[in-house]
């Protein structure tokens, strides 16, 4: 699904990414973890098609990445919802370019029947359990509800690749676990390819089949994760060993 070779990127004279190599197979997940400023968010934005002018090669679904893909959804830490639009209208932005009436069904980006589009919106609202909040504004939602709405906006466009940037970092512990479990369920049900940026080792282990540990501007280590999708393993010695391996690469800079 994603093939990255010799990727480099600079902001002016500051080299943010240097000689990055990464492969993420289709319908798998990858968690990227590293200290602030190591380049992980820049990597995500490049894959989203939001940053150009990089060096090296980036392929998505076998094609060179040449900008924003309509099948790629990106969900930011704050959800990225427009505060002056309702939940339903925010989700509809994934489908429609402009409003023509007071209803979300307005001028279409994709040439599909309005009824079909509305059914898609209704279905994803139900799937993410936010149907009752369709007419609310983002300021009226909890943090978890905002993230569900942002995910819904990505799913309604039939995305095959989802990119998450610190999606649960601002949430309380209970809501964080619910959002993580929702992401996992959606990924497995819909056969999505997923990359998530995180500062949490526990989240990386839960959501990443691959755990990519980054240091300044480059990948330090890629770890295959047998505990992907599993919780309540903290007493398992092998789980604890994996946690310590990730922690060692992340905090102590040990080279292996």
The contacts of residue 220 (CB under 8 Å, 6+ apart) are: 34, 213, 214, 249, 253
Give the confidence band of 178 by pLDDT, cuts at 50, 70, 90: confident
Structure confidence at residue 214 (pLDDT)? 94
pLDDT tens-digit readout, 84-137:
988 888 888 766 533 333 333 333 344 456 777 778 888 888 888 888 998 999
Give the Cα separation of 32 and 50 in Å (integer).
18
Q: Which residue has the higher pLDDT, 159 or 93?
A: 159
pTM of the model: 0.83
**Which long-range contacts (C-beta less than 8 Å, at least 24 apart) are formed by 49-55?**
50/74, 51/9, 53/9, 54/7, 54/8, 54/9, 54/17, 55/6, 55/7, 55/8, 55/9
- State residue 227's pLDDT score: 87
Average pLDDT, the chain: 83
Q: Assess whether pLDDT exceeds 90 at residue 251.
A: no
Per-residue model confidence (pLDDT) at position 193: 95
Rounded Cα distance, 128 and 147, in Å:
10
Per-residue pLDDT at 163: 94
Give the model's pLDDT for residue 106. Answer: 33
**Average pLDDT of span 56-72:** 90
Which residue segments constitute the domains of the chain, with CATH numbers given? 1-71+163-256 (3.40.50.300), 81-159 (no CATH)
pLDDT per residue as tens digits for the range 16-61:
999 999 999 999 999 999 988 899 999 999 999 999 899 999 999 9
Mean of pLDDT values over 67-75:
86
Q: Check whether 254 has a pLDDT greater than 70.
A: no
In this predicted structure, which of 94-98, 200-204, 217-221, 241-245 has the lowest mean pLDDT?
94-98
Residues forming a β-bridge with 11: 14
Quick check: 195 pLDDT over 80?
yes
Q: How confident is the model at residue 81 (pLDDT cuts 50, 70, 90)?
A: confident
What's residue 46's pLDDT? 94
Q: Is the pLDDT assigned to residue 170 strictly greater than 80?
A: no
**Residue 158 pLDDT greater than 60, yes or no:** yes
Please give the pLDDT value at position 20: 94
* 111: Cβ contacts below 8 Å, ≥ 6 apart: none
User: Are 71 and 78 spatial neighbours (Cβ–Cβ below 8 Å)?
Assistant: no
- From residue 10, alpha-carbon distances to 7, 15, 39, 198, 238 in Å are 11, 4, 10, 22, 39
């Amino acid at each position: 699904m994603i093939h990255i070779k010799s990727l480099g990127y600079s902001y002016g004279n500051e080299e943010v990414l240097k000689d990055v190599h990464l492969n993420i197979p289709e319908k798998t997940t990858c968690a990227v973890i590293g200290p602030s400023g190591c380049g992980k968010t820049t990597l995500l934005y490049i894959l989203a098609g939001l940053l150009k002018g990089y060096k090296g090669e980036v392929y998505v679904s076998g094609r060179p990445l040449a900008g924003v893909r309509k099948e790629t959804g990106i969900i930011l830490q704050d959800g990225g919802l427009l505060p002056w639009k309702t939940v339903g209208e925010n989700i509809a932005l994934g489908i429609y370019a402009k409003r023509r009436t007071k209803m979300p069904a307005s001028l279409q980006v994709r040439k599909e029947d309005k009824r079909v589009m509305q059914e898609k919106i209704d279905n994803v609202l139900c799937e993410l359990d936010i149907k009752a909040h369709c007419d609310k504004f983002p300021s009226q939602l909890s943090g978890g509800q905002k993230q569900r709405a942002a995910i819904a906006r990505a799913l309604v466009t039939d995305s095959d690749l989802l990119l998450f940037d610190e999606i649960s970092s601002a949430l309380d512990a209970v809501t964080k676990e619910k959002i993580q479990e929702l992401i996992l369920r959606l990924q497995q049900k819909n056969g999505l390819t997923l990359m998530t940026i995180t500062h949490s080792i526990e989240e990386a282990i839960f959501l990443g089949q691959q755990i990519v540990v980054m240091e300044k501007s480059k990948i330090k280590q890629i770890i295959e994760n047998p505990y992907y999708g599993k919780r309540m393993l903290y007493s398992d010695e092998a789980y604890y060993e994996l946690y310590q391996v990730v922690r060692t690469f992340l905090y102590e800079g040990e080279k292996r």
